[in-house]
Structure 1
Amino acid sequence: MIRQLPLDLPHRPNYADEDFLAAPSNAKALALLRLWPDWPHRLLLLTGPQGSGKSHLGAIWARRAGATILPAQKLDLAALPGLAGAPALLVEDADEPPLRETELFHLINLAMEHGTFLLLTARKAPDAWELRTKDLLSRLRRAPMVALEQPDEDFLRAILVKLFHDRQIKVEANLIDFLVPRLERSFAAAQAIVAALDAEGLARGRPVTRALAAELLAAAPVADDEDH
């Protein structure tokens, strides 16, 4: 079999408002973000597993609120005063290592002092972050938190369609019908199989089809990398 070497090009998901998939698993989070600026608190936590839509929801809210988007791992204590005039801030992946506890604590204080709206995204609730800064944990515990849940079967089907569409891969309905009952019902599993099929199709110079998926799953079932 002649295989092509696929280029490792960066994949950029589509975070347009109209492309967000509303479902029961994200209904509470979507409703709460839409309440802005009438939030119950200036600080809000949005949690959920990888691929559950945290970044997409965050991007939608950031556009509406005029928020500056900050990766938590790149928070810089010296740069925090420059954020004092921001109307809103989105800090992504707040529980990803290395935890920037001092920076995050001072950022929350800065936001509360200046009336800045602050949205934090994370995979888990703060009690699972293993924080050493008790004052930070106390502040996070007092903030409202809304969680994104794992998808049901219908939502998993819609997620697969969107993931293929984001990669500009046209697939037949029979491929989706084949994958849904064979995958773990999680966002990470959907992301993993779509990425694997994309790479395999490029390597073989073949379209992504049900037959290709059957070969791939039979040879090496795609694992759900929940901790990525």
Structure 2
Amino acid sequence: MRERRAGARQLALDLAGAPSYAEEDFLVGPSNEAAYAALEAWPDWSHSVLRLEGPPGSGKSHLASIWAARAGALRIAAADVVDARVPALAEAPALLIEDADRGIADEAAFFHLLNLARERGIATVITASAAPDAWGVATPDLLSRLRLAPCARLAPPDDAVFKAVLVKLFVDRQLVVDTSVVDFLALRLERSLAAAAQAVAALDADALSQKRRITRPMAADYIARTTGEGAEDG
């Protein structure tokens, strides 16, 4: 039988259905400490607009949510910034504009909103997975304005943070695993929070079906099935 432990906290991730973006669950490490410090510096910013960039699963949605809660920011997807909504958006105390790399539907409205934010001193965070040149922006003035905005970048989780994420994901499911399992997975999984969450969910299901604890050989079998390559379990 597998062992479970009560009192687990949930870890907020950049994944659909994640239940919480609690500040106390954000794990700060070398991969994200500069971005964390940049948002921590609010409201003492020298520029009203800050780009927050990082690959999926790096924690940018979590970090942006922490800042939005502190700043009382109005949240909106970049694709939803249209002319009719600009007046109300420009009255917000702060703005969180999310997923700009997925497309800006109304570039004129977006540019107008950034101008109003600068004029009125409205702190604005824009999240994306890449720099503005990769967003498909066609308006030269808007692209120039975005390029000039300060940028805080998150990298994929470093080794210490990634292992801590795995541990917290297991704890969240009330699972107790040996450190050798965590070390094994950390060396072989894609270095993203999404990959960690998928692995833990699959191993939880495996352990339940087999009515046994999660072991290193079980983790090796998961790696072999998902990569198509043999995995050492020793």
Give the aligned residue type for 1:37: P
Give per-residue Cα distances to partners, 1:125-181, cap 9 Å, x unaligned: 112223111111010111101111122222210122234445x34241333122111
Q: 2:92 aligns with which of 86, 94, 103?
A: 86
If the length of structure 2 is used for normalisation, what is the TM-score? Answer: 0.79
Matched, 1:216 2:222: yes
Secondary structure, aligned partner of 1:175:
helix
Alignment of 1:159-198 (within 5 A): 159-166=165-172, 168-172=173-177, 173-198=179-204
Q: 1:133 aligns with which of 135, 139, 164?
A: 139
Which runs of 5 or more structure 2 residues have no equivalent in the other structure?
Answer: 1-15, 229-234
Structure 1 residue 118 displacement after superposition: 0.4
Matched, 1:35 2:41: yes
Checking the alignment, whether the CA contact within 8 Å between 1:40 and 1:144 is kept in structure 2 is: no
Task: Give me the CA root mean square deviation.
Answer: 2.4
Matched, 1:95 2:82: no
Matched, 1:117 2:123: yes
Q: Distance in 1 between matches of 2:80 and 2:174?
A: 33
Runs of 4+ with deviation above 4 angstroms: 198-202, 205-208
Give per-residue Cα distances to partners, 1:40-59, cap 9 Å, x unaligned: 20000010011111111111
Checking the alignment, whether the CA contact within 8 Å between 1:73 and 1:98 is kept in structure 2 is: yes
Alignment of 1:45-84 (within 5 A): 45-84=51-90
Secondary structure, aligned partner of 2:167:
helix
Structure 1 residue 71 displacement after superposition: 1.8
Structure 1 residue 30 displacement after superposition: 0.9
Number of residue pairs aligned between Structure 1 and Structure 2? 211
Secondary structure, aligned partner of 1:181:
helix
CA pair 13-175 structure 1, distance change in 2 beyond 3 A: farther
Checking the alignment, whether the CA contact within 8 Å between 2:81 and 2:104 is kept in structure 1 is: no
Checking the alignment, whether the CA contact within 8 Å between 1:169 and 1:208 is kept in structure 2 is: no
If the length of structure 1 is used for normalisation, what is the TM-score? Answer: 0.81
CA pair 100-148 structure 1, distance change in 2 beyond 3 A: farther
Give the aligned residue type for 1:119: V
Query: How many percent of aligned residue pairs carry the same amino acid?
Result: 51
CA pair 184-81 structure 1, distance change in 2 beyond 3 A: same
Give the aligned residue type for 2:62: H
Checking the alignment, whether the CA contact within 8 Å between 1:28 and 1:146 is kept in structure 2 is: yes
